[in-house]
Amino acid sequence: MQIKIVKSSELGPDLNLSPRYHMAPVLSNRDGSFKRVKNLGWLLRNWKSVTDLRLIRWENGEGALVANLKHKKYDTFTTDFADYGVMVSWVHRPIFDGLSFKYEEGGK
């Protein structure tokens, strides 16, 4: 069973969130528009707009991070990690203290 992170229409037709496909971080809106960003630096610079975090672990040990935002332009920040443990370590930093974390198990 594979858990959908967001609707594909929210990220655009060319993005695939399967754990075997690594993508650049993406900012997306409910209206279907999206923007790729270079790296996790965007999330660190805009940490005040993060409302909660979802950490998804795939069966192969990889993971996906979804940050819901209250940003003036974007609703979500989504990226993947080659290692779930690295992702968990990365999000446990002082700027994210007090946020709600949701841990999920994904598919293959």
Which class would CATH give 25-105? alpha beta
Provide CB contacts within 8 A for 60, sequence distance 6+.
19, 20, 108
Q: What percent of the chain has pLDDT over 70?
A: 77
pTM of the model: 0.77
Q: What is the pLDDT of residue 14?
A: 44
CA 78, CA 17: separation in Å to the nearest integer? Answer: 9
At 71 the three-state DSSP class reads coil
Q: How far is CA 71 from CA 29, 43, 67, in A?
A: 10, 11, 11
Q: Averaged over 2-31, what is the pLDDT?
A: 58
| Helix or strand run (H / E) with residue 10 | helix 8-11
> What pLDDT digit, counting tens, does each position of 26-85 carry?
999 988 889 999 999 999 999 999 999 999 999 899 999 999 999 888 999 999 999 999
> What is the residue type of 49?
S
